[in-house]
Structure 1
Amino acid sequence: MKYDLIDRQLFIKNRKNFMAAMTPNSLAVFNSNDIYPVSADSTLPFAQHRDIFYLSGVDQEESILVLFPDCPKAKHREILFLKETNEHIAVWEGEKLTKEKAFETSGVKTVYWLQDLEKVMFELMTQAETVYINTNEHYRANVETETREDRFTKWLKDKYPAHSVAKSNPILQRLRSVKDQIELDLMQKACDITEKGFRRVLNFVKPNVWEYNIEAEFMHEFLNNRSKGFAYTPIIASGNNANVLHYIENNQQCKAGDLILLDVGAEYANYSSDMTRTIPVSGRFTDRQKQVYNAVNRVKDEATKMLVPGAYWEDYHVEVGKLMTSELLGLGLIDKADVQNENPDWPAYKKYFMHGTSHHIGLDTHDYGLLHEPMQANQVFTVEPGIYIPDEGFGIRLEDDVVIQESGEPFNLMRNIPIAIEEIEDLMNS
């Protein structure tokens, strides 16, 4: 790992909160992700399953966390199973967690090697009545690959068919959506790294650079600041490419007079940031580009004020739609007849702003959170309105990451990242 050691009190607290929500005499199991093969002996870089990381801080493959708060043996109420390390592994793969280092990282006192898993699990399962399995129930989930978690669940249910089965995900959806201050500090670090990348790019962009050149500038700055890189696949979209919402080819030349939509964010310690800015290739916005840019920025600012405890995600998006409708009328992109005759299921503004305005963010870029429940303090949301005009050859989106407060406006983790037209132009021409 590149990041500094995280205070293990975060993981101790997370486990305590999870176990408090479990039914009596139950245990829960969480697995690391696989290392996924590419071809021959090539693999993708390892990315830890966010749930075991959230509960333990363990950031390596072939790790298992078991929680059994009512276990008769006190030492078996929290257990980590790890791949046994040795000198050979240290030479060929690098240092792995020792039992001592695992405790330092997680605060879990009982650590076994994986070779002891079946023996210990047999003892635990004879004492438990219910087992919590960890399924992916995120509203955007679309998983075709069988995961290590899936395989473990099959094994467990086959070997112990008489146990009741419960789901971890509903508990995690609530817990993970509300951030601890340690988490907020890590997210702030990710946003600060993103800021450094953006300021570097403002000094770099000029006519005829390529989108992938800009992507490389971001990556250079991210890696130099102890990030693994992008929190998600970056969008570097110049000209009409900005009107493709998930444009990721990043292979076109940036032409004078065009705008570049930059949807990028650094990760830090597995926590995400998610920023969008739109800048002029030539260092100056045209009058029309300024009109649209300022309209988007006004919607972003007003939408941000609506993210308060007790607000509902669906109602919030209806209100943002009203803001966007007003701005599009002012820009002459729609007229009153369009609004009067609109389909309630696809309002007139959707022609130019077709995606949602906000999503939870945290360990995942589209993080856990139950959208049918009211918003709470210390949840973190993106705010990302946009206006896309293919006929005029540009699209503009602006996005910040904000923390809901107990009272008052949300706290903007991206408050220091330039967004005003004047500041962007000054930095690009300095």
Structure 2
Amino acid sequence: MKYLAIDNNLFIKNRKKFTSKMKPNSLAIFNSNDIYPISADSTLPFAQHRDIFYLSGVDQEESILVIFPEAPKKEHREILFLRETNEHIAIWEGEKLTKEKAFETSGIKSVFWLKDFDKVLFEIMTQVENVYLNTNEHYRSNVETETREDRFIKMCKKKYPAHTYLRSQPILQRLRSIKEPEEIALIQKACDITEKGFRRVLNFTKPNVWEYEIEAEFIYEFTRNRSNGFAYTPIIASGYNANVLHYIENNQQCKDGDIILMDVGSSYGNYASDMTRSIPVSGKFTDRQKDVYNAVLRVKKAAAKMLVPRTIWADYHIEVGKLMTQELIGLGLLTKEDIKNEDPSWPAYKKYFMHGTSHHMGLDTHDYGILTEPMQAGMVFTVEPGIYIPEENLGIRLEDDYVIQEKGEPINLMANIPLEIEEIEALMNK
């Protein structure tokens, strides 16, 4: 991995938090992701399952974590099962984790090779009543591929049908949504790398560059700063393309007079950042572009102040909608008559701002969190309002990442990334 070693105290703390929520006489099992095939002998780059990483720090395929707090044998209370490394693997793929290195990474003393898993699993399954299994229950999940976890769940229930099976997700959804200081530091590092990429792009962008060239500038700066790469598929959308919310082709030429919407974030230590900036191809905003930009900016600043403990996410979005409605009236995009006749289930402002303002962020760009429960200190949320005007070939979105505080306004982890029109123009015209 490119990123520097993470102090294993973070993962020790995370396991203690998870263990404290388990029912008595229970164990929990977590699997790594698969390496996914493309065709022939080609595969996608490995990306670790965030739950096993959150609990162990292990960033390697074919790994299994078992947590069994009340195990009769002390060595069975926390166990890592790893693919056994050898000289052949070291030559062809690079050395995998040794037992010693796995302990340094995770703080787990009991490390076994995968060949021992079935034997150990049988022994500990005879000693417990409840088994926590890990399923994907994220509110945006839409997965058709059978995962390594899915296959394990099928096997476990078939082989051990008499046990009571429980879900890890309700525990993880709450634990992962509130970040430890070490996690905030890792997200801040990812944001700092994103800043470096953005400043590079401000210096690079000019009329007739291609969207993919801007993407290349970002990944160059990310990689040279130890990033895992993009935290999500980057959006580099110039002109009309900015009105396509998930535009990822990044294959058009950037024309003089257009705005480029860039939704880009680096990943560091598997923790995400999520930034959006909208800049003029020419280095100078038109008056109309300034008006729309500043409207979005005002909504963003006001929305960020609402990220305080005990706020309900749905209520927050209603209030942001009211702010956006007034801005759209000011821009001449909506009239008071439009508001009077709007459908309450799809307010008039949704014509120009059709997505949500904020989502949890952390190990996943759209991170774990139960949106029906009040916001709490330590949660990290994006704030990303936008105005999209297809008939003007104009789309502007602005986005930063914020940490909710117990008292006062949230901390903006992207406070150093240029945002104001004057700064952006100055940097583009140096």
TM-score class, shorter = over 0.9
* Whole-angstrom CA distance in 2 between matches of 1:371 and 1:72: 39
Deviation at 1:402, TM superposition (A): 0.3
Does residue 118 of structure 1 match 2:118?
yes
Distance 2:228 2:72 in 1: 41
Partner of 1:388: 388
Question: What is residue 65 of structure 2 aligned with on the other side?
Answer: 65
Within a 5 Å distance, the mapping from 1:11-410 to structure 2 comes to 11-410=11-410
Corresponding pairs, count: 430
Partner Cα distance (2:108, 2:220) in 1: 36
Q: CA deviation at 1:124?
A: 0.4
In 1, Cα distance between equivalents of 2:354 and 2:213:
29
- After TM superposition, give the deviation of residue 277 of structure 1 in Å: 0.2
CA deviation profile, 1:263-318 (whole Å, cap 9, x unmatched): 00000010000000000000000000000000000000000000000000000000
Matched residue type, 2:390: P
| Counterpart-to-counterpart distance in 1, 2:120 and 2:381 | 41
Instruction: Give 1:228 deviation, angstroms.
Output: 2.0
Distance 2:86 2:213 in 1: 42
2:322 is paired with a residue whose SS is helix
CA distance in 2, matches of 1:159, 1:66: 17
Q: Distance in 2 between matches of 1:392 and 1:41?
A: 47
SS of 2:126 mapped into structure 1: helix
One-letter amino acid of the structure 2 residue matched with residue 237 of structure 1: A
> Is the partner of 1:364 in helix, strand or coil?
coil
d(CA) in 2 for partners of 1:18 and 1:283?
Answer: 50
Residue 74 of structure 1: how far off its partner (Å): 1.4
Amino acid paired to 1:137: E
2:51 & 2:128 partners in 1: Cα distance? 22
User: How far did residue 393 of structure 1 move?
Assistant: 1.0
**Cα distance, 1:73 vs. partner?**
1.1
Q: Structure 1, residues 150-194: CA drift from partner, whole Å, max 9, x if none?
A: 001111111100000000000000000000000000000000000
Inter-partner Cα distance in structure 2 for 1:143 and 1:19: 28
**1:127 alignment partner, SS class:** coil
Per-residue displacement from partner, 1:43-99 (whole Å, max 9, x unpaired)?
000000000000000000000000001111111110000000011110110011000
Q: TM-score, normalised by structure 2?
A: 1.00
Residues 193-233 of structure 1: per-residue CA shift (max 9 Å, x gap): 00000000000000000000000000100000001210000
Counterpart CA distance in 1 for 2:338 and 2:78 is 60
Tell me, in whole angstroms, the C-alpha distance in 2 between the residues paired with 1:100 and 1:156: 29
For residues 210 and 228 of structure 2, the distance between their equivalents in structure 1, rounded to whole angstroms, comes to 23
Gaps of 5+ in 1: none
Report the TM-score, using the length of structure 1 for normalisation.
1.00
* Counterpart-to-counterpart distance in 1, 2:320 and 2:349: 10
Counterparts of 1:204 and 1:154, CA distance in 2: 52
**C-alpha distance in 2 between matches for 1:241 and 1:394:** 8
Where 2:349 maps in the other structure, the secondary structure is: helix
**Which 5+ residue runs of structure 2 have no aligned equivalent?**
none
Distance 1:219 1:6 in 2: 23
